[in-house]
Amino acid sequence: MRNTFLELESKPIGTEEFCFVGINYCSADYLLGVEKAADKVRELSFRYANADGSSLPFKVYSPEEGYILKDTTAYDLGNVCASSLEELETNLSKLIFQTGCIPVFVGGDHSVTYELAKRMAVDNEEFVVLQFDAHSDFIDEYEEYPHGSVMNETCKIPQVSKIIHFGIRGNLNCESAISKSREKGNMVIPYVEIPNRFNNLLEYLKDKKLYITFDTDFLNPIYAPATNCLEPGGPSYEDTLKYLKEIIKSCDEIIGMDFVEYNPTCEGAVFTGTTIVNLIMEAMSYVTIKKKSYLTT
Ligand SMILES: [Mn+2]
């Protein structure tokens, strides 16, 4: 057993298309547990790994889609550990990704996305950040609440041309934060408006390079309870897959993804983690289908 995501190799063998990266960081005591997310995701991914001990090609099969990852390759480079955001920045700066290899970052509270987006800005001139999240995370107090203001900071990165807050809902939101983000020219798509605005979003994404940040609380907590800022209601797993698929299919290119705010010390950890494992595999599959262009348009 390799203790890697889907029992992947921990070093690239050729020119792998995806790289799994654990982010072991938690910005506040009241969020503790999120720094353990990547290892729990690896553990729960074991049941989807090849039974014969091989790592590639993937043999993940679904009755709906067939072998969903058969044409792609990936490796797991391990965890980036940090006890401060400065340390995270330093450690991320040491990572080298092969050209065309898409990083899939897993773990941490949402504050890490600012550092991840800065790391993506090293290799990408201009990109849009699409945030699957129940909350805008656009308050002002970065020093005090970095996970609640992470999009406000990310918005200041020169290479980030726009933030899209996708699916916000519920009573933990902040009116001034959402207004401020709109004033900055960002796109706010509340959950209730998705049906009416989804096609316009897909049209907008057509020529955009895209970084996806996925906050676990985007999902209805029935599907993903193990997260720190639960918000009742919201999209099902199937709805979420549909959104992910169409967004990935419609944009020009996916440059990276993160899956944050999973807390394996909360109730429902196995269920939530299994959901995240599957979201990651499906997202990798959609990107692969797009790149190999055997998806009909
Ligand atoms: Mn968030």
CATH of the domain at 37: 3.40.800.10
CA 217–ligand 1 middle distance (angstroms): 7
CA 66–ligand 1 middle distance (angstroms): 33
The domain total for the chain is 1
CA 64–ligand 1 middle distance (angstroms): 31
CA 253–ligand 1 middle distance (angstroms): 23
User: What are residue 165's DSSP bridge partners?
Assistant: 131, 188
Q: Are 24 and 63 in contact (CB under 8 A)?
A: no
For the stretch 133-185, pLDDT in tens is 999 999 987 777 788 899 999 999 999 999 999 999 999 999 999 999 999 99
Asked, for residue 297, whether it belongs to a domain, the answer is no
CA 141–ligand 1 middle distance (angstroms): 14
For 91, the domain range is: 5-292
Greatest extent of the chain over all pairs of C-alpha atoms, in Å = 54
Protein residues placing their CB within 5 Å of the ion ligand 1: 110, 133, 137, 215
Q: Which of 133, 205, 200 minimizes the C-alpha distance to 165? A: 133
The Cα 186–Cα 99 span in angstroms is: 29
For the stretch 203-225, pLDDT in tens is 999 999 999 999 999 999 999 99
CA 268–ligand 1 middle distance (angstroms): 19
CA 137–ligand 1 middle distance (angstroms): 6
CA 279–ligand 1 middle distance (angstroms): 17
Cα pseudo-dihedral 46, 52, 57, 63, rounded to 10: -70
Residue 34 has pLDDT above 50, yes or no: yes
Asked, for residue 132, whether it belongs to a domain, the answer is yes
Rounded mean pLDDT of the chain? 95
For the stretch 58-83, pLDDT in tens is 999 999 889 999 999 999 999 999 99
The Cα 127–Cα 24 span in angstroms is: 25
DSSP label at 101? Answer: P
